[in-house]
Structure 1
């Protein structure tokens, strides 16, 4: 809780500050003033939660100070210091909204009791206010603009503009950390920032930090705050921050968030464990996007089609390097990755490669990865898995070709499935399934077609051979079975076929 002490007597003022510091670490003295006017002059920069003021002071009494602060619309808690003869003044201060009063000389136990009481109220109100304000801010940021009526937007902005944060300038910081840091810990890192702020958990677990920017701040204040926040995190924490430029009024909040989100995506590409980026234009030039398309169409895909997987990996690495160099936004990156995956899927389909669920992990959503390095590595792994699948498909094709060639050379023999499987070092069941998948017919059907083609050739060229002898030469010892199979395949008996082609 941020506390200010106001008393015209320096001895009492300094003594109160020491007592408050002794009361506990959660109580922070952010200002000590000799008059109410001095506090009013600094009020916008301090934003205290609680003011402990003397009730009787020259020029401006404690009661007058309370009234002026209330008139400014500030939600600040007050307590007054009074002597034994000031009871009426103390009672009037309670009517004006003061939390309590303390009698001089101040007792430490009484002070601790008062601080605990006020701190409890401040925490409750802050929590309630953040929940309500956070919901309204989330509504502005994430609701579909087309479905959100304009009068709702106006009402939400009207409510938010009453908050101290939106009365002046502000900026948006978008933060992710790994491991994740909770809101309480983040608040601790910003405890000495004497400015209004709010932390909201946004999409993807990212922390949205809205922070007030004072008139006395300079152009690099937002960047400095982002850097300080990163520096205060534990040594093992990895973090990325994107920050917006400076805005005023809640109606500009979506613009501020959009800038911060764009800047965050830019920081996401950086390989440093902690990095922050500010709001600048992130639109990739058309020629650079065309370069990415060219690499895919003219280098990557042809290499895959030629089964040159080393060249394909080189082309893919070039694509990744180009994407990283341009730091294209997530939307463009996602579309590009989707295009690559679609082309690869088509190539796999052409080769009749069936993918089991989860067999290949090639991500297309950058948001799912902590940073570019992790995303790119997942993409590389996916490409390696795809190359292995295509290579396996090529090996399978070679196995089928070898079996076909063997059948063509030995079709007159009795060929058992085990014998064929041994030739290509596969199990009979796998070979049978693979052959059917690759050719669309069974091994038995293929063997029959080879035998019948050979029989047709003999019937055309060897007119002196009896039909049963033709059957024997192509592997059918039973003439009746040969005639039956031949007619099934050609629609004619061997004799009818010979007469037809004679």
Structure 2
């Protein structure tokens, strides 16, 4: 139902109008009536109707002032103005404030019905817009977080898939009109905010690209959206030294899988990840805080500790399981790392 308020200082006209609106079969429900602009203002503030039908000439506050005051509150409402005489200046001002129609008294039923039908179309259109915006807001908030996460972790496949989905859902879709530019800017701005505020990314220079969006057509905006995401992926990749980061993940995984090999060395690992020994040594320490040899010893010692905690595991067998060739060397390394010998460690258990 379209919730309607009627403000008219002549009681008979007000009651007659209320009956005509309610019985129009167009789905209008009169939820309030008032005799002057002040009463009308209070009703609209409390009820937030979809439609206000008001006379122009009324005591305390006229119809145009009533509309101005409602507009100043940011309340969305359709307006129909009634007048006992044709006044071009009033009509002009009414149009300025977005009034749906200007009806002259006495009101003819067919004319009122046509006006109500026009209002019904506008109210339903506004409801569709509100529903679509609610859907968009939810999508935009969640998708911006997801895309920022993909970009920060340099997941190019998922990031580009996400912007393609956005382009398809919100730009190619019929009926979006010029909103696709605004929505592109809103999504990109939210992604940018997430990158900087949630992930601590360095500030990117991208404002000029967003400005360009206003000058582009639909297909060009789609391409520019993808370009901006691609640019941010590259910026994050460079600022986070992501190539080295990936290499170190490969190195630690390789150590985890090969620490039992007594021949495991920095050279072997460098060959595996296709990096020079000096560069690998440098970026490994930058990323882990310790040298390669320290990391390898740490891995082997932690594995030895686990084995010593197992009652069925014989101490003299442990070196073979962690990459040591003899027991004395293993014992010396264990005591240096933990401050106690393997025998003393096991005795504490």
Bucket of the pairwise TM-score, normalised by the shorter protein: 0.3 to 0.5
More relative contact order in 1 or in 2 (CA 8 Å, sep 6+)? Answer: 2
Q: Which of structures 1 and 2 has the bigger CA Rg?
A: 1
More helix by share: 2
TM-score computed with the length of structure 2 as normaliser: 0.44
TM-score computed with the length of structure 1 as normaliser: 0.33
